[in-house]
Structure 1
């Protein structure tokens, strides 16, 4: 089954999930703030604003509400015009938002922030982000369509930790740690990866139907960079995003959308993510914890891995991934895979 077919297979669940999430936020909003005028309810899209998810999952939302203009938190137009936000390039479908926003700041602590947080996107960041989005539009339009439906905000930050992330507590927002890379290929991976988490989160709003155990069951031997075991659902999320990244990278290479050093970096990232894809599939399948619905999905993801690995075998033969950390490091890749014509 090809990647487009898998996305088509999951798209009905994606739309149902988006509708369910919007319904939850709508109910919470009108229940907690009955004074909001009915004219505010102009359709489901407003209830998929990431700031609303962040507000209703905030442990001190009453204080946040009292200290911030309610209109800023609730009205889509005002949120876009906020001084805490920065207008994104015209060709991007999402808004660039400052990490210091009062509703988003605590997410970094919850994700394990270490060191100072710099939440300002640079002009180079925005240029690279725009270029990477252009690559996705050309190489992977069916995936781009899903991104446009659910990703509304991008937060670019710099800190020692956390890694880039997406969280259901701010559904529709993606957080990219730009201290871990630069350039169009880095941002291409981040958009494929983190937007993939947002998409798969909507596709699997009820993850319990995919497992014969609780989705938060820890998997022994499948660890985070800090050494903590990952849950069954986290590993399934990883497999989906690894599939998306491998497909996106592969299409960009085959279509020769980038050249020179960027093409070489893309080749390294593709080899690395296929290795991670194989490892995560092995970890999850070894546990025998999937329901019938989950097994059906895993079988499709496994077939997709086989197709991608076979398709790119010749192009990636001889690539050395020695010394790669959990997050791909292009400088390390170059140390063991010097650019053709360059000495070590």
Structure 2
């Protein structure tokens, strides 16, 4: 059996020396000082290795290796999470792999455009995956490998763009730019981030001055982290998230815990693309305060519906919106009624829900 590190060692070691790449798969080579030739002996140090030229054929081979490694590590993680009962994280890996398969790739060693998708793991890759002993893997090791592969893939493409532009090969530079743009659309899930709240059977009943002060600090950071549309201060938002969680952990009887949970869900969903964590926080807010003044049910329903594709849970929450949040935000109520009717019809049901939360047979 191979270990995970052995499985990826050969490919990743070959990527360390990627400094600059050539513009021709047949003859041209480039180095950082534009030297016309390169030493044939292996570099003695990492600095020497970075300075060494990399022929285009080697560069393309390294790119192909990191593409394959990215697919493999996600498939390994998906299997590992499923076998360990961590189905939500397994779903993350499956969704990231699905995004990755949509990336447009090109055969840079060919003169004509060879556009294609990364596609499914081929038979040889599947056989290699079966040789990995999942019982010997640690989650931290897998995530470390994943992060390294993500960064390496991006670095290779950025280097290719620079070098193809430098030698006037605008067509291949455009190919690399297209692949990089698609790669940026692959959602990178925060596999190590979890809802760090052990006791979920809490009741928000006490007005606690210290908890209120901490909650107010979190709200200021939260609002301050949103400067302009699409421009956010992730550091401040992370600080706000930490303080919301502190309110819950340090003052579990505070009347602010459901508010803190709701806003922690908002940050998770809107700014950190963590849908599973978001719905957990929304549902904690509902559990701790069924009469919460925040649209936690609606937000959770939309995430379950459109992001996590759990239609059964989404339908239950949309109905809950009509029952418990009907007077909160009119547009939410109307949307919930329309969407619930759509889902019911897709499932073959003849029930129509109205915005008041009643139904007509």
TM-score by length of 2: 0.27
Return the structure number with greater relative CO, CA threshold 8 A, min gap 6: 1
Instruction: Work out which of the two has the higher radius of gyration on C-alpha atoms and give 1 or 2.
Output: 2
